[in-house]
Amino acid sequence: MKAAVPLYQDLASRLAGLIRAGTFAAGDRLPSVRQASREHQVSITTVMEAYRSLEDQGIIQARPRSGYYVPPPSLDVSKLPMAARHSKKPIIIAQASIFQSVMDLAENGRVVPFAAAAPDDSIIPSAKLASITNAVLRKSRSDALRYTPPMGRRELRLALSRRLLVAGIKAGPDEIITTQGATEALLLALRATTKRGDLVAVETPTYFGILHLIRDLGLRAIEVPVCTRDGMILGALETALKKHRIAACVVQPNFQNPIGSVMDAAAKKRLAKLSEDHGFAIIEDDVYGELSHDGGRPPSIALYGGNVIHCGSISKTLAPGLRVGWMVPGGWLDEVKRLKTIQCPWNATLSELVVASFLDAGGYDRHLRRIRELYSLQCARTRQAVVRFFPPECRVNQPAGGFVLWLEMPADFDSEAFTVSAVAEGISLVPGTLFSPSGGLKNCFRLSCGFAFGPRTLDAIATLGRLVVRNG
Amino acid sequence: MKAAVPLYQDLASRLAGLIRAGTFAAGDRLPSVRQASREHQVSITTVMEAYRSLEDQGIIQARPRSGYYVPPPSLDVSKLPMAARHSKKPIIIAQASIFQSVMDLAENGRVVPFAAAAPDDSIIPSAKLASITNAVLRKSRSDALRYTPPMGRRELRLALSRRLLVAGIKAGPDEIITTQGATEALLLALRATTKRGDLVAVETPTYFGILHLIRDLGLRAIEVPVCTRDGMILGALETALKKHRIAACVVQPNFQNPIGSVMDAAAKKRLAKLSEDHGFAIIEDDVYGELSHDGGRPPSIALYGGNVIHCGSISKTLAPGLRVGWMVPGGWLDEVKRLKTIQCPWNATLSELVVASFLDAGGYDRHLRRIRELYSLQCARTRQAVVRFFPPECRVNQPAGGFVLWLEMPADFDSEAFTVSAVAEGISLVPGTLFSPSGGLKNCFRLSCGFAFGPRTLDAIATLGRLVVRNG
């Protein structure tokens, strides 16, 4: 005689099957208890018991006042990318010829865009920005269209001085300089803290834009590896500091691009202390800082002291096309102001007033809550598809914030050749070599999850999975 | 017995008296014939005869379908500034400490702003720009807010490729790069055509922003004097070319800032030929090119050949706060693209779409006609006030376009001390030293006429006149 399976267990195993099959994917909300009771013709109590059982098994997650969700695949440490092997010698950064080709793809709307770390249309609050722009132009008229001196509009610097408190930065409006995106801020920070030939510590891997600026300014780089969980490996920095005079250290402490790591308070404090002891500048690139997937905003290193130049922008949170960034140059305020007056003496008045107005009264926090959830979902779904379609030897990070995935393949994998094959299939991505000052990381690549996940994305990941096998 | 003076002669001499007294100033329209007939209680025929008589004497000018106007003071060559004495040796440009103070004043609304060459609120078509911005955001939604790759939005490059035909430049959209104002274009042009230590020929006097870029890039300058009527004195450039290898020559052929001169076709042709014979780049800064006071648009040097990089912007014609400029890099296209991808990889999408739409369908030519007249009027009135309130030994240019006046005082005049006194009286201006790579031109200064002329401006010129006498 077969033992009777309780109704709720039967329902739970059917639901678990649907989740395994992908009917409910990572981030999806399960039907409400009432709806499930109707769909499966069982009592509400049975559904609640089934959901609780699935929750106990970690297959679904309850979110207060929202319902039950399929969580992202759980963290399997053995599957995460490992810290990169790094060179301990100063490097004159090589020119990556493949970069221009990747950039040229950015305008091509037919390509599935895993290359640019750009927010999707669903992230950009275009209706709200349109109504704010309209209101700014109606209210300010030509005042919104005049020259703005290099420090930037005071309205925006005031809004930022309030906003930056959340990141632990106490800076008055006269200690903030607004820039054309974070790139201008990083450029000014590097120029203010270094001279030609100086040595700059960089994370490996790191955002390629930083490496381009360093090369362009005639600086040399020293690699510091990044660990998937904790960010910059400070022991490696300390070793380098024993041998070399380092002028500046560029770091993304919060949701590092491309690794997604976050430095904890102890690590930030230790880095701040190192910068004071050794007299180098910390150039903090914090463009992903507001994009925690669980909502907690990790602080700036500046909260813990140190010689910090903080750089940020609204390109990942509001609208990259407005080109609004900022920096808090700390002890380099006068020098940054001097340099900016030469190379970029006037700021974008209308953009700055629009962003100031959004920060002040546009429901920025509400907006952030919404896009954090979207980014988190897009990352989880893309990652889930990677796990499904890529060979098991592939390692992929599980970012706690931001929206890029970093994939590590076996050592003999050629990501540049792979990128060429992918582009031929109408899919863009960035090969690992661009993230390395020495042209290493050839077996890695980055996928951006800025764009909404849908059938086209799923197909593209499946295609990449096939190409990976062929290139492997 | 007294001979009877004809009625019309009597009226003419009364009107001439009113013009001398300033009741009708340069640029003012005289009352219509009908109105004057009523005001002076004479027949219409008498008024017409009086007006014709005044016109014959050059005291007033007829404009078809518009009426009779007081013309700007006639060109008195003996009163124009002379070409600057210039150094024939390469110069490492000195740092002008007074510059930062002048910049700091730019935000101060209480100062009478003769310093910044900025358009007045009456010049900026703010209502039209607001409605275009509104339409662009409604139509393009988030497409107007996304990243734009370094070449710039295609819509704007297309509009510019049509617009630049008027200046004699034939460039397809893929030969144009849009920039953040003309400053970015000039910076990229200098970087693409020179390397550290190279020699760059510059006009003396010239726009201080150019001198700052040259110094900042580690380049040396060689001075070429500018003549009030014909622009750059090419004989001096030829002399320099015999002794030195010159990598680039920065020139404002049309309505030079601060002299207001225009190079004629023969001079442009000769400079183009020199650049080909000696292999140097011509970096053409044409930001004032559309602002001829009589409406004729002088062409780019590129019309006559030569190795030209053309740079322009809408900062003087539409709205400086949008930060839209451009360049046609000619043979340096790839190198400029490479450099821009490093230092400024993304463009201001919304601003570029708004300007593209204005150029395509916003009545740009009609707008230009209106602002040319305004700028011309503001220059004429400010110049007239200078002639009235300044001592007779002062020389002042009479620009054919643009909106700046260049004043030359006796050799022992100290324009930096004068600037300090002026600022203390709430009036800003730019001392001549900032326009000279060698810190010369101490006896000169620039007054911008970008702002509407009114009683406050008149008072300020009167105050400057008193200060000139005191400083002299």
User: DSSP of A132-164, one letter per residue?
Assistant: HHHHHHHHHGGGGTS-B-TT--HHHHHHHHHHG
Yes or no, beta carbons of B216 and A107 under 8 Å apart: no
For A395-429, the pLDDT digits (tens) are 999 999 999 999 999 999 999 999 989 988 999 99
Alpha-carbon gap, residue A404 to A293, rounded angstroms: 12
Query: Is the bond into B113 cis (omega within 30 degrees of 0)?
Result: no
One domain for residues A301 and A230: yes
Give CA separation, B380 vs A66, B145, B383, in Å: 70, 42, 5
Q: Which residue has the higher pLDDT, A82 or A374?
A: A374
Tell me the mean pLDDT in the region B210-239.
95
Cα four-point dihedral sign B6, B9, B14, B15: positive
- Tell me which of B363, B380, B414 is where a domain ends: B363
Q: Residue A216: which of B104, B143, B343 has the nearest Cβ?
A: B343
Spell out which residues of chain B touch residue A145, defining contact as CB-CB under 8 Å.
Answer: 124, 126, 129, 319-322
Give CA separation, B335 vs A199, B216, B246, B339, in Å: 26, 20, 19, 6
One domain for residues B410 and B458: yes
Tell me the mean pLDDT in the region B136-153.
94
- The domain that holds B440 is classified in CATH as 3.90.1150.10
- Residue B424, pLDDT > 60, answer yes
Spell out which residues of chain B touch residue A134, defining contact as CB-CB under 8 Å.
Answer: 130, 133-134, 137
Alpha-carbon gap, residue A8 to B418, rounded angstroms: 90
ipTM: 0.85
- Residue A128, pLDDT > 80, answer yes
- Residue A368, pLDDT > 90, answer yes
Confirm whether B78 is domain-assigned. no
Per-residue pLDDT, A87: 80
Most B CBs within 10 Å, among A142, A143, A207, A214, to test the B interface: A142
Q: How sure is the predictor about A357, in pLDDT bands with cuts at 50, 70 and 90? A: very high
Tell me the mean pLDDT in the region B150-168.
94
Spell out which residues of chain B touch residue A148, defining contact as CB-CB under 8 Å.
Answer: 321
CA distance B56 to chain A (A): 42
Contact B406, B81 (CB under 8 A): yes
One domain for residues A347 and A378: no
Spell out which residues of chain B touch residue A187, defining contact as CB-CB under 8 Å.
Answer: 343
CA distance A463 to chain B (A): 26
Tell me the mean pLDDT in the region B48-68.
85
CA distance A235 to chain B (A): 31
Alpha-carbon gap, residue B409 to B415, rounded angstroms: 9
Confirm whether B464 is domain-assigned. yes
Q: Give me the residue label for tokens 């309130």.
A: B389
Residues whose CB is less than 8 angstroms from the CB of residue B286 and which lie 6 or more positions away in sequence, other chains included: B167, B252, B253, B254, B300, B310, B311, B312
Phi, psi of A222 (to 5 degrees): -125, 130
- Residue A92, pLDDT > 90, answer no
| Number of domains, chain B | 3
Q: Residue B144: which of A138, A150, A321 has the nearest Cβ?
A: A321
Alpha-carbon gap, residue A444 to A432, rounded angstroms: 5
Query: Nearest chain B Cα to A211, which residue?
Result: B342
Alpha-carbon gap, residue A90 to A83, rounded angstroms: 19
Q: Residue B346: which of A187, A323, A351 has the nearest Cβ?
A: A323
Least confident segment among B114-118, B176-180, B262-266: B114-118
Per-residue pLDDT, A84: 66
Alpha-carbon gap, residue A231 to A208, rounded angstroms: 17
One domain for residues B217 and B347: yes
User: Position B81: which residue type?
Assistant: P
Contact A464, A427 (CB under 8 A): yes
Least confident segment among A49-58, A70-79, A207-216, B241-250: A70-79
Q: Which residue has the higher pLDDT, B362 or B166?
A: B166
Query: Is the bond into A64 cis (omega within 30 degrees of 0)?
Result: no
Q: How sure is the predictor about B18, in pLDDT bands with cuts at 50, 70 and 90? A: confident
Yes or no, beta carbons of A341 and B212 under 8 Å apart: yes
Yes or no, beta carbons of B348 and A351 under 8 Å apart: yes
Mean pLDDT of chain B: 91
Yes or no, beta carbons of B323 and A348 under 8 Å apart: yes
Per-residue pLDDT, A324: 98
Number of separate helices (H) and strands (E) present in chain B: 15, 16
Per-residue pLDDT, A1: 46
CA distance A66 to chain B (A): 29
One domain for residues A189 and A326: yes
Confirm whether B80 is domain-assigned. no
For A183-203, the pLDDT digits (tens) are 999 999 999 999 999 999 999
Per-residue pLDDT, B1: 46
- Residue A310, pLDDT > 50, answer yes
Yes or no, beta carbons of B146 and A181 under 8 Å apart: no
- The domain that holds B53 is classified in CATH as 1.10.10.10
Confirm whether B74 is domain-assigned. no
Q: Residue A350: which of B104, B121, B321 has the nearest Cβ?
A: B321
Per-residue pLDDT, B69: 87
Yes or no, beta carbons of B184 and A126 under 8 Å apart: no
- Residue B83, pLDDT > 80, answer no
- Residue B207, pLDDT > 90, answer yes
Spell out which residues of chain B touch residue A106, defining contact as CB-CB under 8 Å.
Answer: 147, 149
Per-residue pLDDT, A407: 96
Per-residue pLDDT, B464: 97
- Residue B74, pLDDT > 60, answer no
Q: Residue B142: which of A126, A133, A138 has the nearest Cβ?
A: A126
Q: Give me the residue label for tokens 């801020």.
A: A185
- Residue B78, pLDDT > 70, answer no
One domain for residues B465 and B390: yes
Per-residue pLDDT, B106: 64
Per-residue pLDDT, A76: 56
Per-residue pLDDT, B325: 98
Q: Residue B321: which of A100, A147, A345 has the nearest Cβ?
A: A147
Alpha carbons within 13 angstroms on the beta-carbon side of residue A425 total 20
Alpha-carbon gap, residue B74 to B61, rounded angstroms: 12
Confirm whether B84 is domain-assigned. no
For A251-295, the pLDDT digits (tens) are 999 999 999 999 999 999 999 999 999 999 999 999 999 999 987
Alpha-carbon gap, residue B345 to A182, rounded angstroms: 11
- Tell me which of B309, B342, B363 is where a domain ends: B363
One domain for residues B401 and B298: no
| For chain A, percent of residues with pLDDT exceeding 70 | 94
For B61-73, the pLDDT digits (tens) are 888 778 888 876 6
H/E element, B62: strand B61-63
Confirm whether B190 is domain-assigned. yes
CA dihedral angle for residue B127, residue B129, residue B135, residue B138, rounded to 10 degrees: -100
Alpha-carbon gap, residue A288 to A376, rounded angstroms: 13
CA distance B260 to chain A (A): 22
- Tell me which of B346, B363, B380 is where a domain ends: B363
Q: How sure is the predictor about B360, in pLDDT bands with cuts at 50, 70 and 90? A: very high
Q: Residue B321: which of A145, A339, A341 has the nearest Cβ?
A: A145
Burial class (CB in 10 A: 0-12, 13-18, 19+), A275: buried
Residue B245 DSSP SS3: coil
Mean pLDDT of chain A: 91
User: Position A111: which residue type?
Assistant: V
- Residue B189, pLDDT > 90, answer yes
Per-residue pLDDT, B54: 87
One domain for residues B23 and B154: no
One domain for residues B333 and B426: no
Yes or no, beta carbons of A146 and B320 under 8 Å apart: yes
- Residue B76, pLDDT > 60, answer no
Query: Nearest chain A Cα to B343, which residue?
Result: A213
- Report residue B210 as tokens: 């150019």
Contact A321, A289 (CB under 8 A): no
Least confident segment among A177-186, A438-447, B17-26, B259-268: B17-26
One domain for residues A375 and A296: no
Confirm whether B202 is domain-assigned. yes
Q: Residue A209: which of B141, B345, B349 has the nearest Cβ?
A: B345
Spell out which residues of chain A touch residue B118, defining contact as CB-CB under 8 Å.
Answer: 146-147
Alpha-carbon gap, residue A449 to B289, rounded angstroms: 46
End-to-end CA distance of chain B: give it in Å, rounded: 52
One domain for residues A140 and A245: yes
| For chain A, percent of residues with pLDDT exceeding 90 | 72
- Residue A2, pLDDT > 60, answer no
User: Position A93: which residue type?
Assistant: I
Burial class (CB in 10 A: 0-12, 13-18, 19+), B28: middle
Per-residue pLDDT, A380: 93
Per-residue pLDDT, B6: 83
One domain for residues B155 and B257: yes
How many contacts (CB atoms, under 8 Å) link A and B?
178
Q: Residue A148: which of B150, B321, B344 has the nearest Cβ?
A: B321
CA distance B271 to chain A (A): 28
Tell me the mean pLDDT in the region B214-227.
95
- Residue A66, pLDDT > 50, answer yes
Domain around B379: 95-122+366-471
For B386-417, the pLDDT digits (tens) are 999 999 999 999 999 999 999 999 999 999 99
Query: Nearest chain A Cα to B121, which residue?
Result: A142
Query: Nearest chain A Cα to B97, which residue?
Result: A338
Yes or no, beta carbons of B106 and A147 under 8 Å apart: yes
- Report residue B351 as tokens: 């601003």
- Residue B253, pLDDT > 50, answer yes
Q: Regarding beta strands B61-63 and A427-428, do their DSSP bridges make them parallel or antiparallel, or are they unpaired? A: unpaired
Confirm whether B271 is domain-assigned. yes
